[in-house]
């Protein structure tokens, strides 16, 4: 005697079929469970496949459930049959390439995209781009691109179908066509990109390199590659995924290096442009005096002229003593005002043939052609005029005053740079309290009275 569940209405028929295996009894069980199959099939109505086809696969699963059901296990038949029906439906959808539910609107859009792709493929003779599909359907590019990307979400790989193999590689068929086209028309790939790809390929293991070449360039499926190498299909898939990841990582590193090289090149160009702008700017923006670059050019000219005609030449560097403390106490705007006041004094005291300009942030440069040690008279006059300014305040109890360092040619140097260096040494000595009242001459020469 075979035990059965008393709460299962199909239990008598199931017991009878288990004993007799008569076709009529099986058909009666199947007809009794039609509602169950229709209910389960309706769950997959958004997969894009006709519900009738899905239900047909469900009936096959139901028949298999009747054949395999064992009443002695004490399991309710509808519970057992539900799993069998859903398994049959899912297997069918897996083979079709879809398992996850696709919304109705997305299904309709994909149908339109497929039709547009077919039309464009016939007219263009190639796979259309996203932009061409969007133009064909009068839809935004972003919407088409998103729909195409979403297709992978609703696909499950199948080792029995080439399409499944392509999907598992991470590339859609159109992308693989693009790779093949680029391989056949290598001129379309920039030489820099080809070299980077070749270098990245060379870094792969030999088996990874072989799998990538066979899959993308020799157009072999993973099944064919597995047969060729003597590996399993799953192992070939693993090798391909690992190789693609390594290629991506290497190319990203190369891309970052290239970006850094480009940034360095751009930085160099910007620095060159800055120098050009500085060189082409004759006037200092703050003081209105000549710029350093202009003054250095004039120094070269005056030095050459002095050597040619035997004229004397004086080079003077001037700075305001205690200006740092003044700026700390009163702020940068007041410090800039002091520099502008000194600039006005320099212009007022200098001659027409003299050249006066701003040497750097805190120093001024005077070029005094045909002038020797008597240039000290000019420096004294500048100091007196500066001290007489009524708007100057003291910095921490110390009065602002002008320090001057002077170098004379020919005694102070045989080149323009030597004259500048001599004037710089003299100015530093003057700022440190050397010389007479903030004036130092390099080399020291008594002034002409």
Domain boundary among 96, 131, 162: 96
Domain co-membership, 108 together with 250: yes
Domain co-membership, 395 together with 308: yes
Domain co-membership, 167 together with 123: yes
User: Sign (positive/negative) of CA torsion 68, 74, 78, 79?
Assistant: negative
Is residue 55 within 8 Å of residue 35, measured between CB atoms? no
For residue 220, the model assigns a pLDDT of 84
Cα torsion 151, 153, 159, 161 to 10°: value is -20
Domain co-membership, 304 together with 406: yes
For residue 403, the model assigns a pLDDT of 93
For residue 151, the model assigns a pLDDT of 60
Q: Is residue 277 part of a domain?
A: no
Domain boundary among 47, 79, 96: 96
| Cα of 352 vs its chain's centroid, Å | 56
Pairing status of strand 363-369 against strand 439-442: unpaired
Q: Is residue 282 part of a domain?
A: no
Q: Is residue 348 part of a domain?
A: yes
Domain co-membership, 307 together with 428: yes
For residue 363, the model assigns a pLDDT of 94
The DSSP secondary-structure symbol of 5 reads -
- What CATH number has the domain bearing residue 242? 1.10.10.10
Distance (Å, whole) CA 411 – CA 339 = 31
Q: Is residue 421 part of a domain?
A: yes
Domain co-membership, 159 together with 91: no
Paired tokens of 236? 């070939």
For residue 101, the model assigns a pLDDT of 53
- What CATH number has the domain bearing residue 422? 3.30.70.270
Whether the model clears a pTM of 0.85, i.e. scores above it, the answer is no
Overall number of domains in the chain? 3
Is residue 215 within 8 Å of residue 247, measured between CB atoms? no
Domain co-membership, 168 together with 72: no
Strands (E) in 100-143, as ranges, are none
Domain hosting residue 118, numbered range:
104-254
Supply angle C-alpha 400, 406, 412, rounded to 5: 160
Long-range contacts of 200-206 (CB under 8 A, 24+ apart): 200/246, 200/247, 200/250, 200/251, 200/254, 201/247, 203/246, 203/250, 204/243, 204/246, 204/247, 205/243
Domain co-membership, 86 together with 124: no
Distance (Å, whole) CA 314 – CA 369 = 7
Q: Is residue 6 part of a domain?
A: no
Q: Is residue 275 part of a domain?
A: no
Say how many C-beta atoms besides its own lie within 10 A of residue 407's C-beta: 27
Q: How many helices (H) and strands (E) does the chain have?
A: 19, 5
Distance (Å, whole) CA 380 – CA 392 = 18
Is residue 342 within 8 Å of residue 364, measured between CB atoms? yes
Domain co-membership, 130 together with 148: yes
Q: Is residue 264 part of a domain?
A: no
358 bridge partner residues: 364
Domain co-membership, 55 together with 181: no
Paired tokens of 326? 């003044």
Q: Is residue 267 part of a domain?
A: no
Distance (Å, whole) CA 58 – CA 53 = 9
Distance (Å, whole) CA 236 – CA 215 = 10
Domain co-membership, 73 together with 126: no
Distance (Å, whole) CA 380 – CA 114 = 92
Domain co-membership, 89 together with 222: no
Tens place of pLDDT for every residue, the chain, 449 residues?
444 555 678 888 888 888 898 888 888 898 889 989 998 888 887 666 788 888 888 898 899 889 888 888 878 888 889 988 988 888 887 766 544 555 666 667 877 888 888 788 778 877 788 888 888 888 888 778 777 766 655 554 444 444 434 444 444 454 444 444 444 444 444 555 666 677 788 888 888 888 888 888 788 888 888 888 888 888 888 888 888 888 888 877 777 777 777 777 777 777 777 666 665 578 888 898 998 888 998 999 999 988 888 889 999 999 998 888 888 888 898 889 999 999 999 999 998 889 999 999 899 999 999 888 888 899 999 999 998 887 677 766 778 889 999 999 888 888 999 999 999 999 999 988 876 678 888 876 544 44
318 bridge partner residues: 364, 404
Domain boundary among 227, 254, 281: 254
Query: Which residue is it, tokens 């004490």?
Result: 74
- What CATH number has the domain bearing residue 90? 1.20.120.1810
359 φ, ψ to 5°?
Answer: -85, -40
């Amino acid at each position: 005697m075979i035990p059965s569940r008393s709460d299962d209405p199909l239990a008598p028929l199931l017991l009878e079929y288990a004993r007799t295996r008569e076709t009529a009894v099986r058909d009666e069980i199947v007809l009794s469970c039609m509602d169950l199959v229709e209910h389960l099939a309706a769950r997959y109505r958004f997969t894009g496949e006709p519900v009738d086809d899905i239900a047909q696969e469900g009936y096959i699963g139901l028949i298999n459930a009747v054949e395999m059901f064992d009443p002695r296990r004490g399991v309710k038949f509808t519970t057992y049959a539900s799993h069998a029906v859903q398994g049959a439906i899912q297997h069918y959808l897996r083979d079709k390439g879809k398992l996850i539910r696709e919304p109705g609107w997305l299904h309709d859009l994909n149908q339109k995209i497929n039709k547009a792709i077919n039309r464009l493929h016939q007219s263009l003779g190639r796979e259309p781009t996203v932009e061409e599909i969007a133009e064909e359907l009068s839809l935004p590019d972003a919407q088409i691109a998103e729909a195409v990307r979403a297709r992978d979400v609703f696909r499950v790989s199948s080792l029995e179908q080439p399409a499944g193999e392509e999907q598992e590689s991470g590339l859609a068929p159109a992308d693989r066509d693009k790779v093949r086209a680029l391989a056949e028309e290598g001129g379309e790939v920039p030489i820099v990109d080809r070299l980077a790809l070749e270098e990245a390929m060379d870094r792969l293991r030999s088996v990874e390199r072989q799998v990538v070449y066979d899959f993308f360039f020799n157009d072999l499926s993973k099944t064919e590659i597995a047969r060729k190498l003597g590996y399993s299909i799953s192992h070939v898939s693993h090798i391909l995924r690992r190789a693609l990841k390594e290629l991506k990582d290497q190319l990203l590193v190369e891309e970052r290096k290239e970006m850094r090289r480009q940034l360095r090149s751009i930085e160099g160009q910007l620095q060159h442009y800055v120098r050009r702008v500085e060189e082409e700017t004759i006037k200092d923006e703050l003081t209105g005096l000549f710029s350093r670059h202009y003054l250095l050019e004039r120094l070269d000219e005056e030095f050459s002229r002095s050597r040619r005609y035997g004229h004397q030449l004086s080079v003077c560097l001037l700075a305001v003593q205690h200006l740092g403390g003044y700026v700390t106490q009163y702020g940068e705007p007041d410090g800039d005002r002091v520099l502008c006041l000194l600039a006005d004094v320099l212009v007022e005291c200098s001659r027409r043939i003299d050249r006066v300009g701003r040497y750097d942030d805190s120093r001024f440069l005077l070029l005094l052609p045909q002038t020797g040690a008597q240039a000290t008279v000019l420096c004294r006059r500048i100091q007196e005029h500066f001290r007489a300014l009524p708007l100057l305040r003291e910095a921490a109890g110390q009065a602002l005053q002008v320090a001057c360092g002077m170098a004379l040619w020919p005694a102070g140097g045989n080149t323009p740079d030597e004259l500048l260096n001599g004037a710089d040494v003299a100015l530093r000595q003057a700022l440190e309290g050397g010389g007479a009242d903030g004036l130092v001459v390099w080399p020291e020469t008594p002034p002409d009275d």
